[in-house]
Amino acid sequence: MVVCIDDIIIYSETCEDHVKYIDRVLSKCTPINLKISLKKCNFGQQELLALGHKVSGLSLAIDQNKGAAVLQKPVPKSIKEMQSFLGFSSYYRNHPKNFAHIASSLYKLCSKDVVFEITKERRDAYERIKHELTNAPVLILADFELPFKLYIDAACSQVLGAALHQRQIVDGEPREGLICYISRKLKDSEARYGATQTECLCLVWALEKLHYHLQDELFEVYTDFPALKSSLNMKTTNRHILRWQIAIQEYRGNMTTINKEDRKRNFRFSEWAPGSGTLDSGKTDSEGTETPILGISSSELHNEFFSAVLKSYSKHKQCGMLLQLLQQKYRSPELESQLEEPWLRAYKDSNFFLVDGLLYHRENTQVHSQW
| Domains of the chain and any CATH numbers | 1-45 (no CATH), 64-134 (3.30.70.270), 145-259 (3.10.20.370), 271-361 (no CATH)
Ramachandran quadrant class, 172 (left: phi over 0; alpha: psi -120 to 50; beta: rest):
left
pLDDT tier at 218, thresholds 50, 70, 90 = very high
Q: What is the pLDDT of residue 257?
A: 87
**What whole-number distance in Å separates Cα of residue 53 and Cα of residue 333?**
56
Q: What's the mean pLDDT in 223-245?
A: 81
Rounded to the nearest 5 degrees, what angle is found at the Cα of 209, between the Cα atoms of 350 and 6? 165
**What whole-number distance in Å separates Cα of residue 27 and Cα of residue 262?**
57
Give 167-186 pLDDT, tens digit per residue: 998 778 888 999 999 999 88
Q: What is the pLDDT of residue 303?
A: 62
Neighbours of 311 (CB within 10 A): 10
Could you give phi then psi for residue 336, rounded to 5 degrees? -60, -35
Residue with more model confidence, 47 or 337:
47
pLDDT tier at 287, thresholds 50, 70, 90 = very low
| DSSP three-state, residue 169 | strand
**What whole-number distance in Å separates Cα of residue 146 and Cα of residue 332?**
46
pLDDT tier at 278, thresholds 50, 70, 90 = very low
**What whole-number distance in Å separates Cα of residue 327 and Cα of residue 237?**
10
Could you give phi then psi for residue 357, rounded to 5 degrees? 85, -10
Neighbours of 269 (CB within 10 A): 18
Amino acid at 7: D
Could you give phi then psi for residue 295, rounded to 5 degrees? 180, 160
Give 9-32 pLDDT, tens digit per residue: 888 888 899 999 999 998 988 888
**What whole-number distance in Å separates Cα of residue 28 and Cα of residue 34?**
9
pLDDT tier at 252, thresholds 50, 70, 90 = confident
Q: What's the mean pLDDT in 341-354?
A: 76
First to last CA, the chain: 50
Q: What is the pLDDT of residue 155?
A: 61
Most confident of 44-53, 58-67, 75-84, 342-351: 75-84
pLDDT tier at 7, thresholds 50, 70, 90 = confident
